[in-house]
Amino acid sequence: MDIHLTNTLSKKKELFVPITAGKVGMYHCGPTVYHFVHIGNLRAFILADITRRVFEYNNYDVAQVMNITDIGHLVSDGDDGDDKMTKGLKREGLAVTLENMLKLARKYEDVFLADIASINILKPKIVARASEHIDEDIDIIKKLAERGYTYTTSDGLYFATEHMHNYGALGGIMHTTADHSRLAENSEKKNPRDFALWKFDETKGWPSPWGQGFPGWHIECSGMSMKYLGDQFDIHTGGHDLASVHHNNEIAQSECSTEHAPFVKYWLHNEFVNIGETKMAKSGDNFITLETVREHGIDPLALRYLYLQSHYRSQVSFSWDALEASQTALHRLKKIVAAFPGDGTVSDSYQTLFHEFINDDLNTAGAIGVVWELLKNSDVSDADKKATLLDFDKVLGLELDKNPSELEIEIPENISELLKKRQDARDSKDWKSSDEIRDEIKSFGFDVKDTDEGQKVSKI
């Protein structure tokens, strides 16, 4: 069946035509491992996972790369101030050395890989670390320098965007600098949209023809993607916030260094996750990690289910009520599937319907609707329903073949007694005693959350 994708480059839904028949190369912007990723970040990695799963479901041979940015990501996505890895070192009270930078990176990389595994994101076929691809970055910069696209300032080597006639085509910012006005702090830049290819650092980094230092953030992704996927490849994914600056810069340096265009045929960008009116970020009260989700007694897979219920190009409004409702629906679905007998046959008609949704711009919301529509259909046997749902789960990744992960726990007798006392205190509106009992319960390694259905207990 045909696959259609909404291409950020053209701003249109397009028929997918691979560069090489039967094969697809895809690159996903991964995390900068200076801190924990929050659940808003995870939406981009779910998009990457769904993209891979859909193409594999359509029998494509998938070459998939995700980067780990462990050096060089400047705080503002521009060219000034500390990079994010340096910011992480200072936050944790560590000396700013390359050795500590890479040590910090490994710590948060391990947490990230564990996080994506817990929401059943398939580990990318190639996980590429920026620090291990310096030579590739230097090779690209050399080509750009030879072709007249660079100039030097006191702090680094820069790409001159004025020499690329269609710079900023992604997202339609070719004729405006509005999206780049925040990059104008460096007075030595010839154009506020120009960006660093190499940043000088006399005490840290790697040697280069231009001096010791670090590659710019943008060049790292070009170096890693082109090493494994070639000068041109099919699909690039990332969060919506990366399109205007980072991805336009990737296009510029890649196409100008290779003289091949387009660098990428299809650009896919997921929208933000918001709490109220605010985009989720690593600062403030809306920095929620998967560990926070677990502390609330919620299965991490419920987050995956929540995101799949919306199209990746639509913003998601996060709330704990919405996440708990997703967990309830997911566990209900798992229980239904577990109760069905095996040895069924996949329903051709429902598989076709499911295919139509996922092949239409990765419409997981429509695909989830097919799941519940199938369950209501009394003309399909329970065994066939199970076989069909498990077939769908190759794309959805909800682990429907496993028992429901209700995060149910054995509650010791002493905790049960304390819960009864606490409920009595609450019924009597004795809030002081209720809080004291909650603290006593916590001392035994359990937490209590008050819900409409009563007290909910989870392990700390």
| CATH assignment at residue 197 | 3.40.50.620
Q: Specify the 3-state DSSP secondary structure of 18.
A: coil
pLDDT in the model for residue 80: 53
Q: Which residues contact 208 (CB under 8 A, 6 or more apart)?
A: 138, 141, 198
Q: Using CA atoms in the order 121, 127, 131, 132, what is the torsion angle rounded to 10 degrees?
A: 170
Q: Is residue 284 part of a domain?
A: no
Q: How many Cα neighbours within 13 Å face the side chain of 36?
A: 13
What single DSSP character describes residue 447? E
Report which of 46, 35, 49 is spatially closest to residue 300, judged by C-alpha positions. 46
> What's the Rg (C-alpha) of the chain?
25
* Same domain as 215, residue 301: no
Phi and psi of 251, rounded to 5°?
Answer: -60, -45
* Same domain as 197, residue 315: no
Q: Is residue 278 part of a domain?
A: no
Q: Nearest 5°: CA angle at 124, between 136 and 46? A: 120
Q: Specify the 3-state DSSP secondary structure of 210.
A: coil
Report which of 117, 133, 108 is spatially closest to residue 31, judged by C-alpha positions. 108
Q: Specify the 3-state DSSP secondary structure of 422.
A: helix
Number of domains in the chain: 3
Q: Which residues contact 81 (CB under 8 A, 6 or more apart)?
A: 74, 75
> Where in the sequence is the domain holding 452, given as residue range(s)?
413-459
Report which of 395, 457, 418 is spatially closest to residue 53, judged by C-alpha positions. 395
Q: Which two tokens stand for residue 121?
A: 């994101």
Q: Is residue 37 part of a domain?
A: yes
pLDDT in the model for residue 135: 98
Q: Nearest 5°: CA angle at 45, between 39 and 47? A: 110
Strand 150-152, strand 156-159: pairing: antiparallel
CB 365 within 8 A of CB 311: yes
* Same domain as 252, residue 114: yes
* Same domain as 316, residue 169: no
Report which of 113, 126, 17 is spatially closest to residue 67, judged by C-alpha positions. 126
* Same domain as 214, residue 264: yes
Q: Is residue 94 part of a domain?
A: yes
Phi and psi of 287, rounded to 5°?
Answer: -90, 95
**How many Å apart are CA 86 and CA 98, to the nearest integer?**
9
* Same domain as 191, residue 304: no
CA pseudo-torsion sign 391, 397, 398, 400: positive
- Please state whether 317 falls in left (phi above 0), alpha (psi between -120 and 50) or beta: beta
Which helix (H) or strand (E) element contains residue 133? none
Q: Is residue 285 part of a domain?
A: no
Q: Is residue 364 part of a domain?
A: yes
Q: Which two tokens stand for residue 245?
A: 């600056």
* Same domain as 438, residue 313: no
**How many Å apart are CA 385 and CA 350, to the nearest integer?**
10
CA 412 to chain centre: 38
- Out of 273, 306, 338, a domain closes at 273
pLDDT in the model for residue 279: 76
* Same domain as 439, residue 364: no
pLDDT in the model for residue 413: 81
CATH number reported for the structural domain that contains residue 306 in this entry? 1.20.120.640
| Amino acid of residue 245 | V
Q: Is residue 251 part of a domain?
A: yes
pLDDT, averaged per 10 consecutive residues of the chain (460 residues), comes to: 96 97 98 94 97 98 97 55 82 92 94 95 97 98 98 96 92 51 67 94 94 94 98 97 94 97 97 83 75 89 97 95 95 94 96 98 98 98 98 98 62 84 91 91 82 74
**How many Å apart are CA 32 and CA 21, to the nearest integer?**
33
* Same domain as 348, residue 422: no
* Same domain as 336, residue 245: no
Q: Which two tokens stand for residue 379?
A: 């003309």
CB 359 within 8 A of CB 58: yes
* Same domain as 249, residue 383: no
Q: Is residue 279 part of a domain?
A: no
CB 374 within 8 A of CB 347: yes
Phi and psi of 356, rounded to 5°?
Answer: -60, -40
Q: Following DSSP, what letter does each residue of 51-118 receive, concatenated?
A: HHHHHHHTT-EEEEEEEEB-S--BTTSSSSS-BHHHHHHHHTT----HHHHHHHHHHHHHHHHHHHHH
* Same domain as 175, residue 49: yes
**How many Å apart are CA 356 and CA 223, to the nearest integer?**
36
